[in-house]
Amino acid sequence: MSMAGGFLGGAHDRLLPASIPFRFFLSAAGFQVLAWAALLVAAGEVPGFRGGTGPVLAAIHLLTLGVLAMTAIGASLQLFPVVTRRALTRHWPGHLVFALMLVGVSLLCWGMGAHRIAAMQLGAALTGTGLAGFALVTAGNLRGASAIPAVAAHGWLAMASLLVVAGLGVLLVWDFADGFLAGHGAIATLHLVLAIFGFMGLLAFGLSLVLIPMFALSRSLPKGPDWGQLALVALALVLVAASNLPGASWLFWPALAAGLGAAGLHLWLMATTMKRRMRKRLGLSFRLIRASWGLLVLGLLLIAAWGAGAPIPNAPALIVFVLLAGWLLTFLCGVLQRILPFLASMHAAGKSGLPPLLSDLAGEGPLNLHASCHFPALVLCAAGILLDQPMLIRLGAALGVVGAAGFAVFALRIAAKLRRTVPAG
């Protein structure tokens, strides 16, 4: 029996109003266009970027907060109640979190790009409050989620990481004005690592235990490795944090080994899902998802090579790009191609009794455009960073804008058709 079959029973009763998750998803689609556009503007500064305000920092946060966090919040607010079998009875927190995030991220990223400290501070405060509110809502829903203990544990640790990430982010923004932090660079690195691997990585690993088998129509995954990947990620995060202590830099290597072990277990679980699946034709979405798994491994290997002293030009910028735009963005775009029609069909089924065909909700043209631009954009931008060629980055970012626009059309088309079927809630 598939894992999905167990928790989908009665799932319609645990659906939020469609307007809540779709607001996050549509905003993420818009922010993706802005993130690629900001990278286009900042192309000349990207290869040697080592921190500081400006368009590069704005582009990073348009991606991390505007795209990745917005997607994660929308998906988690809807999917965790479904898989935990515990409906969210109050809807106002979702609306409040969205308002705080939309205004906060917009202000923060504008302030970063324009070097406006006051806007950054206000944006950071609003965004941090929104992230904390989301973490509290999710933690409350995960309490007592005995049906999916491993997935819930991933969620708990992701929320703990998120609170630390938000706190460090606010401190870093205030430090731009007052300079009170002794080790701004080290704290910024920890902030980035916890955001990539702690918050987003753990959510991706945990929800993949449910979503990938569901989309592939696969049997339940074996128990044990799911807890193993969680333990290894937790160990890696603790070791990374400890490596910032005086004389503890050697902990980088045990942390990396734990991270590689966690990635290895995760990929083994995903490969097992692929072998056991009943759905043979997985479509374009799984090309993105599979590519993201390979980009995760590439990112970790680049970290290892850089740590070993390999002469990789502009290694920090390249590593961050591969992990953020390569692994996480590619993965989320692939997953959203399934989640958006899936949620829309569930809401439509509740209204009319029969779910529409997924092919009726959105055509394939916008998604084909997205994929045909997204992958060349990744290659061109990575090559531009490695070769210190801003023109390649500009070409890649321009393709990224076009592809992101195609993805936004896909999301808007589904939302428009859903709106005609289901009244706004």
Alpha-carbon distance 256 to 236, whole Å? 7
Residue length of the chain: 425
Phi, psi for 9 (deg, rounded to 5)? -60, 120
pLDDT digits (tens, 9 = 90+) for 38-79: 999 999 999 999 888 999 999 999 999 999 999 999 988 888
How buried is 36 (Cβ within 10 angstroms: 0-12 exposed, 13-18 middle, 19+ buried)?
buried
Alpha-carbon distance 369 to 271, whole Å? 28
pLDDT digits (tens, 9 = 90+) for 7-18: 555 555 567 788
CA proximity to 332, closest of 173, 141, 225, 196 = 196
Banded model confidence at residue 355, pLDDT cuts 50, 70, 90: very low
> What pLDDT score was predicted for residue 83?
73
For residues 292-317, give the mean pLDDT.
96
pLDDT digits (tens, 9 = 90+) for 100-159: 999 999 999 999 999 999 999 999 999 999 999 999 998 888 886 666 788 889 999 999
> What pLDDT score was predicted for residue 416?
86
For the full predicted model, state whether its pTM sits above 0.85. Answer: yes
Domain spanning 3-418: which CATH class is it, in words? mainly alpha
Q: What sign results for the dihedral spanned by CA atoms 282, 299, 66, 384?
A: negative
* 8 Å CB contact between 141 and 218: no
CA proximity to 150, closest of 288, 48, 266, 282 = 266
Helices of type H across 62-116: 70-84, 92-114
Banded model confidence at residue 421, pLDDT cuts 50, 70, 90: low
> Which of 316-338 are b and which e, b meaning 16 or more Cβ less than 10 Å from the residue's Cβ?
bbbbbbbbbbbbbbbbbbbbbbb
Q: Which residue has the higher pLDDT, 361 or 332?
A: 332
Q: Which amino acid is at 285?
A: S
Alpha-carbon distance 326 to 375, whole Å? 9
